[in-house]
Amino acid sequence: MILTVTLNTALDITYRVPSLRPHASHRVTEVTERPGGKGLNVARVLAALGHPVTVTGFAGGGTGRALQEALTGIPGISDALVPVAGATRRTVAVVDTATGDTTQLNEPGPVISPAEWSTFLEAYEDLLRSSSAVALCGSLPPGVPVGAYGHLVRAARAAAVPVLLDTSGEPLRRGIAARPDFVKPNADELAELTGSHEPLQATRDARRRGARAVVASLGSEGLLAVAPEGHWQATPPARVMGNPTGAGDSAVAGLLSGVVEHLPWPDRLARAAALSAATVRAPVAGEFDRAAYEELLPRVAVTERATAA
């Protein structure tokens, strides 16, 4: 079983409008709702790939109940979310169908009490006992210690469970120092962490901060990986147009599924890059287009990069 942790879960709401204009009223042509937050996106893709997944984190209030009810309809996903007094946040994505651009509005999330955090830690350590890998994903809700991911990484390492960290800012800085097996920043997060805007140098610098391997999302340029086994870049065959929301989460699912299937690095990266591109093509944010994935996977170019520092 793969475990995904989403401390700041969300109910994702997507509105589609013919054209998004500031300071104007809009007629919404389509509305979709689904469980959200980075780790839940990862779990949905893993389940679609045939991997049993357990999701944990926090859920509360009417929004949390709606999120958990929606989870029951997704085959392959088990709900181990911890109840809290506060209400789970909502995120709103407004898709301009004329341009394909998306405007995102993210609420901050519920305030987590010290007692709720302690309850979660006990549940997390228990879940690790039956996990083949764990993904720690997304932002921290108010009240959770900024060093939370460092604690969760160390617990996974103590349980000998491979752990992937996908977050940003100070939580990433502190989490990477706990030596996760993998981190997956995007280009902006990587530059913020290292101060370097040259992808290969920044990826190497991030690895020196503690991660065993770093996989950087570079948008249309694909994925760049620096690991003890070597350095590779995986590039989709062409620029993919659509909604990029959730593309990085699909890449995380591809990497984790490759880890538990013991795939070599080039195959992991090809899968991750194809899933990411197929997510951009999907009509709903955070889903992936299976036909596009199957068409793209054999066409992803994976090249080995020089390993000199």
Active-site amino acid positions: 249
Distance of CA 63 to the CA centre of its chain: 21
* Nearest one of 238, 273, 233, 237 to 253, comparing CA atoms: 273
Q: Could you give the CA distance from residue 159 to residue 69 in angstroms, rounded to a whole number?
A: 31
- Answer yes or no: are the C-beta atoms of 136 and 153 closer than 8 Å: yes
Q: Are 250 and 10 in contact (CB under 8 A)?
A: no
Cα–Cα distance between 302 and 271 in angstroms, integer?
10
Show the tokens assigned to 93.
């994505």
**Tokens matching residue 193:** 């962490």
Handedness of CA 67, 174, 168, 4 (dihedral sign): negative
Q: For residue 196, what are its two tokens?
A: 């370097």
C-alpha Rg value of the chain to the nearest Å: 18
